[in-house]
Every structure is written in C-alpha cells, then in structure tokens.
Amino acid sequence: MIKERIQEALNHQLNRELYSAYLYLSMSAYFESLNLKGGANWMRVQAREEETHAMKFYNHLIERGGRVTLSAIEAPPSEWGSPLEVFEETYKYEQKVTGLINELVNLCTSEQDQATNNFLQWFVAEQVEEEASANEVVQKFKLAGEVGGRLFMLDKELGQRGGA
C-alpha cells in the first residue's frame, strides 16, 4: 500500500500533468490563431504527451493500491506576445516540471518508497529530453528572428513532429 504522503504528492503531480496538457493545448490554439500550423501541431503533440504522463501517474497510484483524487485544473494563459515567447515559456515551464519531479524523488527517498522512486526515474530522464526539445526550438526561433520566410520554414519544420 502506498503511503498517504506519497499518494497526495502523486495526485498533485497528476493534476500538474493534466494542466501541462491544457497549457500546451492553449498554446496550440494560439499558434492556430496566427495560422502557424506547424507550431500548433508541435503543441498538440506535446499536449498528448502530457496526457500520457498523467495516465502514468494515475496507473501507478492504482497499481500501488492508492486512491486517485482529481482536482480542478487551473486555466492556462491564452495570449502570448510572439511565437518565440511561447517556446520560451515552454522551456521555463519544463524546467519547473523538472523541479517538481525532483521534489517527488526526494520525497520517495525520505519515505523509503523504492517502487515509486523507480517509477519516477523514467520522468527524470524524460525531463532532460523535454527541456532539450523546448530549448532547441527557442534557439531556432532566435536564429530565425521575425523574418517571414525563416519563420515559415521553422513553422514547417515544427509541423513535422510526429504523434506521441
């Protein structure tokens, strides 16, 4: 049986993962409003990944005999100043999620919950990838600048991202 403190923390992270999906879906809608279909696709794929992450937490709680408790999902922002700003926020947000995952790992260590610690190691590695992916796009937007042709080439590249 999973410890109450761990259960609460995992339920909170499940909510954060659902918020992440909601945030990226909002970012996708922003890109759609600019007719940047590639950016919209990139963010939709990201939203689906976050939904998958949420379900990993859901399943782990169930498998450990815990109780899933869903809470309200905070409304994400819906406006940004530029496509670059969206990806800069994405990068910062992924750094924040990395911190949340690290806090969970620390909690599992202090509570001696080796099974959940082992489960979380996938997320530790995933966050390295998430941060690198977002930062790569930030750097490409900075290189492209706001020049129309370069922006549209980058948008086309973002559209090539496959499903989660």
Domain segments of the chain as ranges: 4-158
Instruction: Report the chain's mean pLDDT, rounded to a whole number.
Output: 96
| H helix runs in 34-162, sequence order | 37-63, 83-110, 114-144, 148-158
pLDDT tens digit sequence for 33-68: 999 999 999 999 999 999 999 999 999 999 999 999
Q: What's the confidence (pLDDT) of residue 151? A: 87
Q: What's the confidence (pLDDT) of residue 162? A: 87
- Structure tokens belonging to residue 19: 């918020």
Q: What's the confidence (pLDDT) of residue 70? A: 97
CA 6, CA 44: separation in Å to the nearest integer?
30
Decide: 155 and 38 in contact? Cβ < 8 Å.
yes
Decide: 119 and 6 in contact? Cβ < 8 Å.
no
Q: What's the confidence (pLDDT) of residue 148? A: 72
Q: What's the whole-number mean pLDDT along residues 142-153?
A: 84
- The predicted model scores a pTM of 0.94
Percent of the chain predicted with pLDDT > 90? 91
Q: What's the whole-number mean pLDDT along residues 130-142?
A: 96
CA 84, CA 89: separation in Å to the nearest integer?
9
Decide: 21 and 141 in contact? Cβ < 8 Å.
no
| Fold classification of 4-158 (topology level) | Ferritin (1.20.1260)
